Amino acid sequence: MINCAIIGFGKMGRIRAKAIEETGQGKVVAVYEPSDCDFGDYNRVSSEQEIFADHSIDAVFVCTPNFRIPNLCIAGLQAGKHVFSEKPPGFNAADVLRVIDSEHNTFGSKLMYGFNHRHHKSIKRMKQIVEEGELGKILWMRGRYGKEVAEKFFEGWRAKRELSGGGILLDQGIHMLDLFLHLGGKFDDVSAFISNLFWKIDGIEDNVFAIYRNNQTGACASLHSTMTQWRYLFSLEVFLEGGALVLNGLKTSSGAYGDENLTIKRNPSHLQNGRFESEESVTYHLDTSWRSEVEHFFDCIKNDSPVTYGNSADALRLMELIDRTYASNKSV
C-alpha cells in the first residue's frame, strides 16, 4: 500500500481521498487542513511540516488554493515524497520552471498534475481515434466550456487575483486548452480577447475568446471559456479529414454538465458535401476519471515508470500557452 497524505481537505481533497481508497493501492494516513471541516475517520495532523517530516508517508496530494501549489510541490519533492498536485501548476510558466528545477534535483520522486479531463472515457476514445489515424489528420477543433457562478464564489479565494492568479481561463479554460494540446500536439500562433465586462473583478476575467494555430499542420482551435453563460456547458468538437468527433457534456461529481455524449462521424474522402457515411453515438454514464488518474500515479510509483499524462513537461507546455494567451489579449 502507498501511504498518502492530503494537504487541503476541501472539495478536491475529499474527492482525491475517495479515489485513493477506490484504487485499493493506497491509503490516506494523514490530512492537513487549517479550517474546520468534517475530517471523518482521517488522521488530522497539525501542520504541513509534520507531513513532510514523516518518513512513513510515500506520496503527498496538494489540494490547496492556486497560490500555494508551486511551493508545496517543491517542499514535497525536497522531502523525498512523490507529489500529486491539482491544477493550475502555478500562476505562469515561471512557477512551473521553479518546480521542475526541484524535480531534476530529486532522485526517484514522481510528480503529476491533476489534468483530470484526460482520464474521462470519452476523451480516451477520442485520443485513440486521433492517434491511430482512423479519420486522418485534425483540421480544426472548437471548445466551449462555461459555468454558472454562485454568490459564494465572490466570498472565496477564486475571486481574489492574488490567491487564484486569474479568472475563468486559469480556473476552467485551462482544462480545454490541455485537451487541445493532448489531441493536437502544439500551437504556435495565439490571438485572444479577454474581458470582465459583467462581474468587473480586477484581474479575474469572466470571458476568454481565443484562437490557436499549429503552423506545421495548419490546424486551428478556438476556445470560449466563460462564466457569464448562465448555465453549465462542455462541448469539444474535433474535425478531421475523414470525419468528426463531437463530445457534448462531461460526467462530473456534481452532475452539472450532464452525461458524456460522444458522436463519432465517419466520412470517406469522396464525400465532401457535408454528409457522413456513418455515425456512432456513445453515452458515458459513469465518471471513473478520478480513480483512473490516481491509478496512473500509483502505477508510476510502483513500477518506477515516467508519468505519461500530467507530467511537468505537459504542465510547462500548457502554462506557456496560458501565458501567451493572456499576453495576446486585444481587449486592452
Q: Report the CATH number at residue 78.
A: 3.40.50.720
Q: Please measure the distance between the N-terminal and C-terminal CA atoms of the chain and give it in whole angstroms.
A: 53
C-alpha cell at 283: 453515452
Pair 71, 142 in one domain:
no
Residue 302 within a domain: no
Pair 94, 170 in one domain:
no
Residues 6+ apart with CB under 8 A from 95: 69, 70, 89, 319
What's the pLDDT score for residue 115? 95
Residue 332 within a domain: no
**Other Cβ atoms closer than 10 A to 3:** 15
pLDDT digits (tens, 9 = 90+) for 115-171: 999 999 999 999 999 999 989 999 999 999 999 887 788 889 999 999 999 999 999
pLDDT band at residue 267 using 50, 70 and 90 as cut-offs: confident
Residue 45 within a domain: yes
Do residues 226 and 208 lie in contact, with contact meaning Cβ atoms separated by under 8 Å?
A: yes
Pair 126, 111 in one domain:
no
What letter represents residue 111's amino acid? Answer: L
Pair 142, 188 in one domain:
yes
More confident call, 199 vs 193: 193
Pair 133, 258 in one domain:
yes
Q: Helix or strand or coil: residue 97?
A: helix
Mean pLDDT of 41-55: 96
Which residue bears the cell 461529481?
253
Is 0.75 surpassed by the pTM of this model?
yes
Pair 19, 155 in one domain:
no
Pair 56, 170 in one domain:
no
Pair 155, 105 in one domain:
no
Pair 159, 22 in one domain:
no
Pair 275, 128 in one domain:
yes
Evaluate the CA torsion angle 85, 64, 123, 325 in order and state its sign.
negative
What is the spatial distance between Cα 111 and Cα 293, in angstroms, rounded to a whole number? 13
Do residues 189 and 221 lie in contact, with contact meaning Cβ atoms separated by under 8 Å?
A: no
Segment among 137-141, 239-243, 244-248 with least mean pLDDT: 239-243
What is the residue range of 269's domain? 121-250+252-286
**Other Cβ atoms closer than 10 A to 38:** 7
Residue 34 within a domain: yes
More confident call, 273 vs 56: 56
Residue 288 has pLDDT above 90, yes or no: yes
Residue 312 within a domain: no
Pair 135, 88 in one domain:
no
Question: Which strands sit side by side in the sheet containing 220-226, from one edge to the other?
Answer: 189-195, 207-213, 220-226, 138-146, 233-240, 243-248, 260-266, 278-284
Q: How many domains does the chain have?
A: 2
What is the spatial distance between Cα 240 and Cα 264, in angstroms, rounded to a whole number? 11
Mean pLDDT of 54-69: 98
pLDDT digits (tens, 9 = 90+) for 213-227: 999 999 999 999 999
Residue 21, H or E segment: helix 11-23
What letter represents residue 233's amino acid? Answer: L
pLDDT band at residue 332 using 50, 70 and 90 as cut-offs: low
Residue 298 within a domain: no
Pair 135, 234 in one domain:
yes
